[in-house]
Structure 1
Amino acid sequence: MIVGTRGSQLALAQTKQVCADLAKVTGVDIDIEIIKTKGDKITTSQLYNMDSKGLFTKELDIALLEEEVDFTVHSFKDLPTELDEDLKVVAVPKRESPNEVLISNTHWNDLKPGSKLGTSSLRREAFCNHYQKDFELKPIRGNIETRIDKALNSDLDATIMAEAGLKRLGLTEYIKDVFPLNYITPPAGQGALAIITRKDYEKNDVIQKALNDYTSMQEVFAEKKVLEELGVGCQWPIGAIAQMNDKEFNIYSILLTKEGEILKEQNEKGSIRDAVELGGRIGRLFADYV
């Protein structure tokens, strides 16, 4: 089998783990094909100022459709809300931490007004403004190691990152603070991976049985449904997190303005079988505010 992936250290680490887990069950040899995406080539722009649909996925989708690779591995949060009609998310492995973390030499509560915080996320920018931190917000791009170095060893004082990537690369020693999910709510799908295949691929059942975690899949599908109902991506500051709590499925989402004002927040509970419908319900409630 051949798997397609982006070439960053994180993407490769994620893909190698998926391949190891799949090979353990199937015994199949898997070759890795590195594919560069538009998002990898553009390093100077704020992502929310660009047409972000498929920014980190389109080239991999093309390779799949042209049967150059058999499946691809993505960070779920990078997926556009709608896939090509001939492709499907065949599996979501067990989710890693969805939390946001602070990378800094100073704790969050000790960062003073005027501190320089690097972020290219409109959602993170909105949360900083919501808590009236009065930071000087500066654009920051690059891989995980680059952003850590900038936050600790440049004129920046801090940056905010996803805990999952740091865990997968063994870089948790650089985490200064872990933010509760209801304090800085992550983007839909954070911490999860998506295994994409062609709908007619003959080994879909094999991949799904080997890799899929049902709870994780329901969580991230529900979160993405919020965005799908709204027809938006990273151009809007929206956080969404779904989790199982005492056998009850819970999804919370928050919509802010760039300036940090809360436009709407909503919590829905129910059966995990209704996860996607619960996410859709929130999306429809949010529609009047977008």
Structure 2
Amino acid sequence: MIVGTRGSQLALKQTKDVCADLSKITGQDIEINIIKTKGDKITDSQLYNMDSKGLFTKELDKAVLEEEVDFSVHSFKDLPTELDEDLEIVAVPKREAPNEVLISDKSWDELTEGSTLGTSSLRREAFCNLYKKDLQLKPIRGNIETRINKVKDTSLDATIMAQAGLKRLNLDNNIKTIFPLDYFTPAAGQGALAVITRKDSDKKEVISKLNHYQSMQEVFGEKSILKELGVGCQWPIGAIARFNNNKFNLYSILLTQEGEILKECNETGSIKDAEDLGRKIGMIFKDYV
């Protein structure tokens, strides 16, 4: 089998982990094909100022559709809300920690007015404004190591990142603060991976054995909020689903870029109804966007 992936260190680590697990099932080695996406080529612009649909996935989708590769591995949060009709997410491996984290020599409370924080995320910008930190927000792009180094070399006082990527690359010693999920709510799907094949693929059945049902239902619930709204990066939205003690809870918050809370929703129900709960929240949010 052949897998398609982006070429960043994180993307390769994620893909190699998936391939290792799949090789245990099939007993076969999997060839890795690195594919450069449009998002990898653009390094000087805020993501939310661009047409972000498929920014990090379109070229990989094309490779899967044209049978250059058998499947692809993505960070779930990078996926557009609508997949090509001939593609399918056949597996979501067990989710890593979805939390947001602070990378800085200073604590969150020590970041005073005028401190520089790097982010190209509209959602992270909105949360910084929500907590009235009066930080000087600066665009930042690049891989995880690049962003960490910009803090270390004092180009920035801080940046905010996903805990999952740092853990996967064994760089979590750089974390200053792990934010609670209800304080700095992550992007829909954060911490999870998506394994995508063609709907008619003869490899689909074996690849689907990588799926972790709870993780899939959590992120499908979160993404269904955006799908119902028909938005991606255009609005600051945090969403997190958790399944604990046989209870499935989906929380989401909609903000303005300036940090005003437009609406918060919290829905509880059966894990099998995750997408219905997400659609319910999305319908409520429609009145505010």
TM-score tier (shorter): over 0.9
Residue 36 of structure 1 corresponds to 36
Q: Secondary structure at the match of 1:56?
A: coil
- 1:238-278 alpha-carbon deviations (Å, 9 max, x no partner): 00000102101000000000000000000000000111100
> What is the CA RMSD across the aligned residues, in angstroms?
0.5
**Partner Cα distance (1:266, 1:135) in 2:** 27
Residue 50 of structure 1 corresponds to 50
**Partner Cα distance (1:54, 1:259) in 2:** 26
**Partner Cα distance (1:217, 1:202) in 2:** 22
Q: 5 Å matches for 1:145-160?
A: 145-160=145-160
**Partner Cα distance (1:152, 1:126) in 2:** 24
Residue 101 of structure 2 corresponds to 101
**Partner Cα distance (1:190, 1:152) in 2:** 25
Residue 217 of structure 2 corresponds to 218
1:154 offset after TM fit, Å? 2.7
What letter corresponds to residue 248 of structure 2 in structure 1? F
Q: Secondary structure at the match of 1:45?
A: coil
Q: Secondary structure at the match of 1:273?
A: helix
- 1:7-27 alpha-carbon deviations (Å, 9 max, x no partner): 000000000000000001111
Question: Tell me, which stretches of 5 or more residues in structure 2 are unaligned?
Answer: none
Q: Secondary structure at the match of 1:155?
A: coil
Residue 110 of structure 1 corresponds to 110
Report how many aligned residue pairs link the two structures. 289
**Partner Cα distance (2:38, 2:198) in 1:** 21
Q: Secondary structure at the match of 2:176?
A: strand
Identity of counterpart residues, as a percentage? 75
Q: 5 Å matches for 1:39-78?
A: 39-78=39-78
**Partner Cα distance (2:255, 2:276) in 1:** 22
Q: Check the 8 A contact 1:73/1:194 in 2, yes or no.
A: yes
What letter corresponds to residue 28 of structure 1 in structure 2? Q
Q: 5 Å matches for 1:1-290?
A: 1-209=1-209, 211-290=210-289
**Partner Cα distance (1:77, 1:144) in 2:** 16
Question: Tell me, which stretches of 5 or more residues in structure 1 are unaligned?
Answer: none
1:153 offset after TM fit, Å? 1.2
Q: Check the 8 A contact 1:248/1:269 in 2, yes or no.
A: yes
4+ residue segments displaced more than 2 Å: none
Q: Check the 8 A contact 1:103/1:152 in 2, yes or no.
A: no
Q: Secondary structure at the match of 1:147?
A: helix
Q: Secondary structure at the match of 1:73?
A: strand
What letter corresponds to residue 265 of structure 2 in structure 1? Q
**Partner Cα distance (1:65, 1:271) in 2:** 34
